[in-house]
Structure 1
Amino acid sequence: GADLGLDPPRSWLPVGYAVAGAYASLIAYGLAVLVIERLTGADLGVLKKGNGIPDSPANTSVVWFVLGVSVMALAPLSEEVFFRGFLFRAVHGRMGLAAGLALSALAFAAFHLNFGVMLPFFAIGLIFAWAYHASGSLWTPIAAHAIFNTVSFVVTLAGVGS
């Protein structure tokens, strides 16, 4: 457990900071895109796409259940183990904290394969890596990521903003 950082965190406070920071980065990104569109008249629609949830999956309880479990539990656990538990730790150990933060965040953003969320997901990757580093526990970014995804999934499912 300790090698991967699976001991309980010294404090759960970084979870709250990480969730707040993740949503703040999305809001800041959305506002920046909106301001650029207003000032230039450009249509930056490609930069606004991207929650990763299909527009019209088969409308069955089973599909939504599997999608929900994947988004709210499996993705946070597997992504944090890989991007923070392995990649961040490896790069941090060899190249230092800044490189660990930046490269793990870049890989996290690129992994999501959506140009529309690259910048905010890079910021979220930085925030989750910082949360891991600050708390000393992988459970911190796992919890933050799960909360972030759960709120985003529920809001999307409820159709808020559509």
Structure 2
Amino acid sequence: VVSTAMLQLGELALGLALLQYTAKPDRQVGAFFAGKFSSRPRGWIKETVLWLGLLMSMVFLTSLIADRLIGPEDAYDPILKEILSNGGTSRLVCWFLYCVIAPLSEEIIYRGFLLTALSSSMKWRNAVVVSSVMFSVAHLSGESFFQLFVVGCITGLAYYRTGTLAASFTIHSLYNAAILFTTMMS
């Protein structure tokens, strides 16, 4: 748990440094969370609820399709289940890492940096797809590739529509919480 925490915190620090380094001089890193990058700002809370609902529906549908095509498989990580069943501090640290640190660092890197950079040289839709593929590949999980791609697309579209990483972070965080809860209950 400690090594995972250190890796996640390192990834977060790297992501923040990357944003700070690449942000235009007149913009601060905090602006990525304030909705200042969208040409048409929208209410991010309403958008977040809508995109989260769509994400959960899409993940459910892709799970059904995968079960039909490939057959059912154990989707739960036994190591993660062991950490969650230990209770106490390890469970709390695990929830914090999966629901705060990991989504925050991944949204900074894949949406705040990569998606924003790609969208300067291609259409937003294409940038969302490319950044989502890279997000999926980075997770090194062949079984979950398509679901992670869907997560990347939904969080990318939420970021595009709201102009704030707060929306994509919230969706990602709640998705991870749902995965942890399901793993813990299995």
List per-residue Cα deviations over 1:97-123 (Å, max 9, x = no partner). 122101110111112111111001101
What is the match of residue 87 of structure 1? 114
When normalised by structure 1's length, the TM-score is 0.82
What is the match of residue 124 of structure 2? 97
What is the match of residue 10 of structure 1? 42
Q: Supply the distance in 2 between the matched residues of 1:117 and 1:95 (Cα, whole angstroms).
A: 27
- Count the aligned residue pairs: 152
What is the match of residue 64 of structure 2? 31
Q: Supply the distance in 2 between the matched residues of 1:143 and 1:25 (Cα, whole angstroms).
A: 17
- What's the Cα RMSD here? 2.3
What is the match of residue 73 of structure 1? 100
Equivalent residues in 2 for 1:69-148, closer than 5 Å: 69-148=96-175
Which stretches of structure 1, 4 residues or more, deviate above 3 A after TM superposition? 1-4, 50-53
CA contact (8 A) 1:4 1:86 kept: no
Q: CA deviation at 1:151?
A: 2.6
**Structure 1 residues 155 and 34: CA distance shift in structure 2, 3 A:** closer
**Structure 1 residues 65 and 3: CA distance shift in structure 2, 3 A:** closer
Q: Supply the distance in 1 between the matched residues of 2:57 and 2:30 (Cα, whole angstroms).
A: 31
Q: CA deviation at 1:139?
A: 0.8
Q: CA deviation at 1:67?
A: 0.6
Q: CA deviation at 1:65?
A: 1.0
Q: Supply the distance in 1 between the matched residues of 2:94 and 2:47 (Cα, whole angstroms).
A: 27
CA contact (8 A) 1:85 1:138 kept: yes
Identity %: 22
When normalised by structure 2's length, the TM-score is 0.73
Alignment partner for residue 55 of structure 1, among 65, 72, 81? 81
List per-residue Cα deviations over 1:33-78 (Å, max 9, x = no partner). 23325xxxxx463xx6356862323714111111110011111111
Q: Supply the distance in 1 between the matched residues of 2:78 and 2:120 (Cα, whole angstroms).
A: 32
Q: Supply the distance in 2 between the matched residues of 1:52 and 1:80 (Cα, whole angstroms).
A: 26
What is the match of residue 40 of structure 1? none
Amino acid at match of 1:130: L
Amino acid at match of 1:30: S
List per-residue Cα deviations over 1:82-106 (Å, max 9, x = no partner). 1000000000111221221011101
